[in-house]
Amino acid sequence: MEVQIKNDIRIVKFSGAILKVDSDEIEKELSKLTQGSVKKIILDLTKVHHICSTALGIFVATKRKLKPMNGDIKVIVVDEDLIQLFEITMLDKVFELFPDMASALEAFQLDAEDR
């Protein structure tokens, strides 16, 4: 897991399989971000081929923390199995899914213009 900063957006990049053993570290990192002034997070899952349910729960909990602060999480996902996972669990209704970084960044830009 790697965190990058672009303007006021934190980009959290993952790779490989996100397993239950990784959950504590993910929760700690996302919690650290939301306790600061961070309101915009992009989860880059382009290099991920598996996500455990615990990690998905952490993503949802983080989004809930951001909502009262007018914050949000955008998710970049390209793996067909993962897209299907988001659809089956109906998390595609919770998170906006994007095929690439440019469209996720643009969505935050459009959100800012709507306010």
Number of domains in the chain: 1
Torsion of CA 52, 53, 58, 59, to 10 degrees: 80
Q: What is the pTM of this model?
A: 0.94
Rounded to an integer, what distance in angstroms lies between the CA atom of residue 46 and that of residue 30?
18
Question: Residue 109: pLDDT band by 50, 70, 90 thresholds?
Answer: confident
Which tokens go with 72? 């949000």
CATH of the domain at 77: 3.30.750.24
Q: What would the pLDDT profile of 14-46 be if each residue is shown by its tens digit?
A: 999 999 999 999 999 999 999 888 899 999 999
CA atoms within 13 A on the CB side of 2: 9
Rounded to an integer, what distance in angstroms lies between the CA atom of residue 12 and that of residue 4?
6
Q: Measuring CA to CA, which residue among 93, 86, 12 is closest to residue 53?
A: 86
Q: Is pLDDT of 102 > 60?
A: yes
Domain that holds residue 74: 2-114
Q: What would the pLDDT profile of 46-101 be if each residue is shown by its tens digit?
A: 999 999 999 999 999 999 999 999 999 999 999 999 999 999 999 999 999 999 99
Instruction: Give the residue ranges of DSSP H helices in the chain.
Output: 23-35, 53-66, 80-88, 101-114
